[in-house]
Amino acid sequence: MDSSLNGALKRAKRKQLLKIIITSIIVVLISLPILYKTGNYFAAKSSERLHDELFLHNAIAEPNIQVDSQVTSNSSMFGGNIVTNRSKNINGYLVQWSTLTSSYDWLRTKVDYNELIPGFYWSDREFYEYDKQTKNKVATFYHPSIQKYYDGVQNELGDISRMKNYVAEVAISFNQPYTLEEIQAKIPDNLNIVWLYMASPMVDESKGPAGMPVYGFDPSNSPEEAYNSFIDSLKKYDAAGDNKTIQKFLNLNKNKQFDEVKILGAMLTGQTQNFKALENQDFVRGASVGATAQIVPYIKPKK
């Protein structure tokens, strides 16, 4: 009797275990597609958000830097990377710039600020900022209201204008804000205005470079339309209203027409000898050379 009962109990336990195993397999088989679709949904949303953030940052805070391609890499249901290939257009010559590798998961996005922020070179005789991957010099803008910079306000127009057979970009910082019409009257026609410096944080730069962003836009095609797009991009980029510099700029100019808006500086490109016309001009507070390229017979400069 006891032996029969024990046998029956064992068979019942085996059946129950088999039911549990079969039920678990069915649940897993049903759950996996749901988990896969859910994971892909959240990963895709984060990827889209990161793409938008990278494009917005380029539109407002990357002087004379163009995005050549921006693609998703190493993607999975849990996240992935976005690789942004960038370059500079120096008067018709394309110069390689650092590639960004940003990441995302279900909840977070992480922009590659390590490569967005330039490196700093110090020596007993020299200081300058440089792009970490290409090692090209980064042009520096000087805010007209910040009186003292760590290494002083540089003016490299004399140095660049003596270079032969090169094209270059130069960040021109003004002694005071000007309208675009006033700027266009001051800049020679044989130089390109490729980016307008509109705002940057007011910080102490006297003890060393603060690495603060500069905000502006490319006015090349239609300056007024480009400005309106810049304003829209600023609003989207700082939708939460946490960036004091952006909010101050928006509030200061919200009731102004574009021809009334004041500009702090401009990125210019052109053949090096053409920058000589800007030497000793009163409106130039500082001039910082960025990327350069040697002219070759088979590529014609834009100007």
Evaluate whether 185 touches 165 at the Cβ level (below 8 Å).
no
Q: For 255, list phi and psi in degrees, rounded to 5.
A: -105, 15
Token readout for 11 is 């068979």
The one-digit pLDDT tens for each residue of the chain (303 residues) are 466 666 666 666 766 766 767 766 766 666 566 655 665 676 778 889 999 999 999 999 999 999 999 999 887 777 899 999 999 999 999 999 999 999 999 888 999 999 999 999 988 888 899 999 999 999 999 999 999 998 899 999 999 999 999 999 999 999 999 999 999 999 999 999 999 999 999 998 888 787 889 999 999 889 999 999 999 999 999 999 999 999 999 999 998 999 999 999 999 999 999 999 999 999 999 999 999 999 999 999 999
Token readout for 38 is 């859910």
- Interatomic CA distance for residues 279 and 275, integer angstroms: 7
Residue 35 neighbours by CB under 8 Å, 6+ apart: 77
- Interatomic CA distance for residues 219 and 263, integer angstroms: 12
For 96-108, the pLDDT digits (tens) are 999 999 999 988 8
Token readout for 157 is 């127009």
**96 HSE (CA, 13 A, CB side):** 7
Task: Choose among 282, 281, 127: nearest CA to 205.
Answer: 127
